[in-house]
Amino acid sequence: MERKQFIGFLLIGIIVAGYMTWTSIQAPPPKPASNAKQQSDSIAKSSAKTSPDQTSKPPIGEQTAQAGSSKQAAPSSNPLHTKYGALYERHLSGANESIVVENDLIKARIIAQGGAVRSWRLKEFKSWYGDTVQLVPYKNQFGALGIKFTDKNDGQNGTTRESNVVDTRELFFTVNNPRSKGNYFRVTGNDSVSIVATLALANGGIIEKTYTFYGKSYHTNLAVRVSGMDGVMDKKYSLLWQNGLQYQEKNSVDESGQAKAWLEQNRTASEIDAGVEPKPIETNGVLDFAAIKSKYFLAAIKPSAELSNGTLQTTLTGYKMDAPQEGIMEYYDVKIDVPYSNNRVDNFTVYIGPVDYNILKPYGLESAFNFAAQSFLGIQHIARPVGEYFILPLLTFVYKFIVSNYGLAIIIFSLLMKVLLHPLTVGQTRTAQKMQLLAPEMEKIKAKYKDDMQKQQQETMALYGQYGINPAGGCLPLLLQIPIFTALYSVFSSDISLRQTPFFGWITDLSVADEIVRLPFKLPLANMDIVSGLAIASGLAMFAQQYATVKDPQQRAMVYMMPVMMTLAFSSMPAGLSLYYFMFNILSVAQQYYATHFAKNKMTLEDLKKAPKKEGWLQKRLREAQGMAEQQGRTLPGQSSNGKSGSSDKTNKNRK
């Protein structure tokens, strides 16, 4: 019967593999389509390109012609508008000039309104719907890196009130390059270009923001100079980034799962995760940086050493919203309060780019890379160094120096991991071989004491002791591999190198599940509707491995349960991880097959009996527990003291 089941599973695997190969050849290229978790049901590249956050606002391009899109906007009802009225008149006239700066990696646009960053495009990366990645959120009305301050002169008796807050993002700066004319600048190599945005206030005060861009860099240096505001600005100004980063992935739930805002003070992190209601956290002290990230992209603000040595108040806020078709959107705000000092230049390094470990490390931002996605029993403290100093460097080495295809690199990586983990798995293999030798003896015990489970246990443990078998010998290697597997999951889920990287056939993106079929319903308990080809292949490989190794009749059910459970678990995991797990299982099957059929020194039951015996920790504890139970006369429920079931007579007698 079991042989027929095995053949059945094998045939199913062949049919599935054939179907996947045929569909990958015959099927036309997929088109962006709505699904249960995608971020927009109305985005189309050929249309107005509505943003993936379900808004109808079109992306704001880099062209100057589009820069006056705020022409119809009306000024706020803030009473301070009368004081700064001339600046708002430019707002009404649509005089929102902009300057575009492009280097080898980015294309940024600085607008007159607020002297803010309106768009920041990463030229080497595409969003899920094919457009260039643009990270400044469309939801952000004013752009990023705006400034607010409180005008203390408009309060009564020296007090301030909320209406005194001046949001310079509603005012219009003069934006230019002091050394040349024009609204487009290209910078390459070791060159740099500076864009200056100046706001001249009615009282003679000046707020000046200078953005310096470099030839091949994802960052800009932002220098803020405030002067002539001694009698106006109330102690400080606030530098703002609001509404997080524009989402770029098809699955908003997956992207939200890794989105967050956090800061570091003296290398100690404070993190906020978005909730239904905004719950800000505030910190005071030396600020290393404050940052917002999505799954693969990051915006971070690092004060200069001179500025960060002082006390800065930083506020992080996060909130989440439901998106259509069971999606989730998370938004984060960062506010850094900087003490006012007349005519002082405050420098900030602003990084807006990919979460690439090697790029982030020189900035001190490597904590953005999610090396420990899981926090099971505090295992992240072990998994993080494993991922950071072993898994990621090894995978990168294989890709750069052995094969320049990430799918093949993962296969080679799986082989290397199998070799490196051999000391852990060899014990598991030997235990499996010993259990195979003992299988006939265990069947005899099961048949002899079929109505007495306690006696079965006692005789089985005695058999293990007689032949020197540690029943935990196969489990311990698996437990030791948990930190490694956690690190693998984290790296394959976070490494931007795998993002949108195809392998072959139906595997079009190694960073997401390799979907071959989407069910019209969600499976109960598993809460998933994706059928993954690699997950099925991994499950079949796992079944073949366990079928060949697990001979204990009491564990036989696991041969069927575990592959099904792992297939469901891997159906929503990145294809790169599923590919690794599939190859690792295939190599384990090959290792087991070789040990069983081609090993020169095959162990026999007699050899096993003569071998030196070493009682393991678990064996000793089980033996001691059984001895104590026998001394105390305890039995299993439903059994008599002589080991026979059906002891109702004795029970009734004791009751009398």
Task: For residue 19, name the pLDDT band (cuts at 50, 70, 90).
Answer: very low
Q: In this predicted structure, what is the pLDDT of residue 10?
A: 45
292 and 434 in a common domain:
no
419 and 511 in a common domain:
yes
654 within some domain: no
- CATH number of the structural domain spanning residue 248: 2.70.98.90
514 and 425 in a common domain:
yes
425 within some domain: yes
Of all residues in the chain, what percent carry a pLDDT higher than 90?
A: 37
pLDDT digits (tens, 9 = 90+) for 440-489: 888 888 888 888 888 887 888 788 777 777 766 666 666 777 888 888 88
Q: Which of 600, 621, 637 is the last residue of a domain?
A: 600
526 within some domain: yes
544 and 479 in a common domain:
yes
Q: Which helix H or strand E contains 622, and what residues bound it?
A: helix 617-631
274 within some domain: yes
Tell me how far the alpha carbon of residue 7 is from its chain's centroid: 38
How far apart, in whole angstroms, are the C-alpha atoms of residue 524 and residue 529? 10
How far apart, in whole angstroms, are the C-alpha atoms of residue 36 and residue 13? 28
200 and 241 in a common domain:
yes
392 and 302 in a common domain:
no
Q: Is the pLDDT of residue 248 over 60?
A: yes
256 and 186 in a common domain:
yes
Q: In this predicted structure, what is the pLDDT of residue 459?
A: 83
587 and 443 in a common domain:
yes
Q: In this predicted structure, what is the pLDDT of residue 206?
A: 93
458 within some domain: yes
How far apart, in whole angstroms, are the C-alpha atoms of residue 335 and residue 313? 8
How far apart, in whole angstroms, are the C-alpha atoms of residue 237 and residue 228? 14
Q: Is the pLDDT of residue 71 over 50?
A: no
Q: In this predicted structure, what is the pLDDT of residue 315?
A: 94
In sequence order, what are the residues at sequence separation of 6 or more whose Cβ sits closer than 8 angstroms to the Cβ of residue 648? none
Q: In this predicted structure, what is the pLDDT of residue 163?
A: 57
436 within some domain: yes
45 within some domain: no
How far apart, in whole angstroms, are the C-alpha atoms of residue 438 and residue 469? 10
421 and 347 in a common domain:
no
Greater confidence (308 vs 94) lies with 308
578-603: average pLDDT: 81
361 and 387 in a common domain:
no
The winner for highest mean pLDDT among 49-58, 596-605, 615-624 is 596-605
206 and 293 in a common domain:
yes
User: Could you give the number of structural domains in the chain?
Assistant: 2
Which two three-digit tokens encode residue 507? 């595997």
* Residue 170 contacts residue 142 (beta carbons within 8 Å): yes
635 within some domain: no
222 and 157 in a common domain:
yes
Q: Which of 553, 580, 600 is the last residue of a domain?
A: 600
In 3-state terms the chain splits into helix, strand, coil percentages (rounded to 5) of 40, 25, 35
Q: In this predicted structure, what is the pLDDT of residue 625?
A: 63
Q: Which of 572, 600, 628 is the last residue of a domain?
A: 600
Domain coverage including residue 583? 379-600
pLDDT digits (tens, 9 = 90+) for 372-409: 765 555 677 788 889 999 999 999 999 999 999 999 99
